[in-house]
Chains A and B, each alone.
Chain A
Amino acid sequence: MSGENFLFSVFAILTCVSALAVVLSQTVVRMAFWLVISLGSTAALFFLANADFVGAAQLLIYVGGTLVLLVFGVMLTASGPYMKIGTSAGETVVAGLLGLLFLFVVFACIGGVEWRKPVTGSADNIATGAVGNTLRPLGLSFLGVRPDADLATGKPPEASGYLLPFEIVSVHLLVVLIGASYLARAKRRAAPVGQ
């Protein structure tokens, strides 16, 4: 077993076990803790696959952002010291059935894919460097240049890329956030007129 495989199995087991712990634990903040471990191990799996950028984004967005907000929300809204979520037997059965069905779908999808070895060639070296230098190809493909595809076909890039739509969407999101916080804040009552 090579070192990479060993690390892969460690992080994969960690991901699965802590995902199970998320489901099985009752306290919300403990769930969040297990979720941190699960998502962190997923990020580690990304790092192992030489996808640095995706791994770091996973850490920044899910662990550093979403989960902190989750715990923050629990702390602000909980009435008791440790908020618990109890599930009734019926809910457990329904959720378990749904989970099994989903597992079946996932396995069917995995089985349906024709797995091949990645094509290695000169284009491959640029696209996914062995040291995980995926940032430049990512940026280039945002601009519509796909070094992996373009070198393979030998044609100049034609697409204009998705950078502008992406930027517009993200600025839009920021505007929505500011608007939401403006609408949600407590309004001061206007001073009575004529006094």
Chain B
Amino acid sequence: MMFAAQSIAEFFDWLGGWQYVAAALIHAVLLIQVFALSPFAFIWLERKVSGRIQDRLGPTRVGGLFGWLQSLADGIKLVQKEDLCPPAADSMLFRSAPYVVCVASFAAFMVLPFSNGWVAVAADCGLFIMLAILSLEVFGIIMAGYSSGSKWSLFGGMREAAQMVSYEIPLAICALVPVVAAGSLNLGEIGGMQRGWFGYWFLFHDPFTFIAFFCYFIVATASCKRAPFDLAEAESELVGGFHTEYSGMRWSFFFMGEYASMFAVCGIAAILFLGGWNTGIGPLDDALYAARNAGADGTGLAVVGYLANVIGAFVFASKASLGVFVQVWLRWTLPRLRIDQVMTTCLKYLVPISCFLFLGAIAWPLLMLTVLGQTTWTSSPLGKQVSAEVYESQVVQARSAERASLLDVENRTAELELATKALVAGKERLAAAKNASESEKNSSDSQLTSLQEEVAALEKAEQEARVSLESANETAQKAILKARLLIEGRASVNKNAAAAREQGVVR
């Protein structure tokens, strides 16, 4: 029954007012595990992959098979090292810089969903928050470079600043391309929308998202200052760049931050483009989703729902780790760019390309909507959901047109009434004048003629008012008919939309 809890806060219901504190602690501790263990695994991976690429074995001894405990041995070694602060350094900034890097990349995990609903903070603008927090990491690097009091570090810091300030632009624009397709910044919702066969992944949503994925991956590699963009720590020119003067744990904090943010950006890529925690096999995804929902509702076994989420988290972690693996592979394959080449790549190629992709991603759903009647080329429920939204706006327009035409009819009716009244009054006056002229015989004919003309004009006006009322009535009837048809049609579209929404909803 405790597995059926919708959130950790609910799980700790019995703690009373302290449940939120307990929930916050548990979230933070779990995320620290991710933050600490992913570098642990990836540093080992880096050593192993680099060894294989250079025709070596890599670590083989520590921990037995494949040397999997090598990272732990590294960590123990680093803890024992002396914590140095060079005399030329600004010690306060020098000591705090590694923490800024660490905190920034740790806090980014706060809004990253690991499975359907497994997220510490399910924020509506999760992607935006995540990019904002990841952009803080560069400040720690610059601080480290500046406060070390060393020229190598200063050069590293400057390169890093120049690189990051430029690469953040295409990073954000490339991340926006699938957001345009999804219509949401909520990472949980974006992941949920891609349930089903892999055609539903945003990677295959349209040609623009397909290119955007590769663009994003290049930019993300650069934003983690990984080779071939690792100018800030280029060891052949700058000794160690911004971390030249660091030693021991402070030095390792930079690397924990780096590997954790590699995982974070690859996690974003997995959710935005690669279907997040969805396996990409339609029936399996549906079954996992159903199991999870049944577990949460209490209609099914809670443990099964929990296991479904564990599978989801495993799939997500595999996708993100695959991204990290490719980054490692690139590092040991490609030579380092020069700083001017790095800037040219970004400003002359990646920024225009990403802007073009962004425009294309906006135009694509409109094109599909005109050609196919839905916004996706696959039968993804997402396409129908957006067309339902369009439909809804059509209904709103039809209703307002209906209202306007009814108002028009009212106005015209009032005008007609006035015209009729004026006509009746004019006729009465004419009749009175005729009587008067007959009785007196001396009144001028001109007066009579002018009155007759007036009455004729009034008759004409009345006729016009009648005609315009008729046309207004016709328009109103058309508007009412259109609105009614749309509203009737809405029921069937709504059914599709409800299905789509159910797919997108994250509990």
Contacts and interface: CB of A to CB of B under 8 A. Distances in A.
B124 A72 contact: no
Interface of A: 3, 27, 29-30, 33, 36, 40, 52-53, 55-57, 59-60, 63-65, 67-69, 71-72, 74-76, 81-82, 129, 131-136, 156
B136 A63 contact: yes
B128 A72 contact: no
Q: Per DSSP, are chain B's interface residues mostly helix, strand or loop, or mixed? A: helix
B90 A29 contact: yes
Nearest to A138: B125
Contacts of B165: 65, 68-69, 72
A3 B9 CA distance: 14
Contacts of B135: 59-60, 63-65
Contacts of A63: 135-136, 139
A81 B149 contact: yes
21 contacts: A29-B93, A29-B147, A30-B93, A36-B100, A36-B136, A52-B123, A56-B125, A56-B128, A56-B129, A59-B132, A60-B132, A60-B135, A63-B135, A64-B138, A68-B138, A71-B139, A71-B146, A75-B154, A75-B157, A132-B123, A136-B124
Interface string B427-445: 0000000000000000000
Given A29-B146, A30-B90, A67 B139 contact: yes
A61 B162 CA distance: 16
A52 B129 contact: yes
Q: Per DSSP, are chain A's interface residues mostly helix, strand or loop, or mixed? A: helix
> Considering residues B125, B138, B142, which has the most beta carbons from chain A within 10 angstroms of its beta carbon?
B125
Nearest to B155: A75
Counting contact residues on chain B (CB < 8 A from A), the size range is 35 or more
Contacts of A156: 396, 400
A69 B146 CA distance: 13
A75 B125 contact: no
Contacts, number: 98
Nearest to A81: B149
Contacts of B129: 52, 55-56, 59
Interface string B106-138: 000000000000000011110011011101101
Nearest to A76: B158
A82 B123 CA distance: 40
B133 A30 contact: no
A132 B129 CA distance: 12
B143 A29 contact: yes
A176 B367 CA distance: 32
Contacts of A56: 125, 128-129, 132-133
B158 A72 contact: yes
Interface of B: 20-21, 88, 90, 92-93, 96, 100, 122-125, 128-129, 131-133, 135-136, 138-139, 142-143, 145-147, 149, 154, 157-158, 161-162, 164-165, 168, 185-186, 396, 400
B24 to A, nearest CB: 9
A72 to B, nearest CB: 4
3 smallest CB-CB distances across A and B, nearest first, come from: A64-B135, A60-B132, A133-B124
Contact of B161 (A36, A59, A68, A133): A68
A31 B185 CA distance: 34
Nearest to B158: A75
Given A68-B161, A75-B158, A3 B143 contact: no
B20 A3 contact: yes
B139 A52 contact: no
Given A30-B92, A53-B128, A72 B21 contact: no
B305 to A, nearest CB: 22
Nearest to B154: A75
Nearest to B21: A3
A173 to B, nearest CB: 13
A71 B124 contact: no
Nearest to B161: A72
Nearest to B134: A64
B451 to A, nearest CB: 47
Nearest to B140: A36
B136 A64 contact: yes
B125 A135 contact: yes
Given A68-B138, A75-B161, 16 more contacts: A3-B20, A33-B92, A36-B139, A56-B125, A59-B135, A68-B165, A71-B161, A72-B142, A72-B161, A75-B145, A75-B146, A75-B157, A76-B158, A136-B124, A156-B396, A156-B400
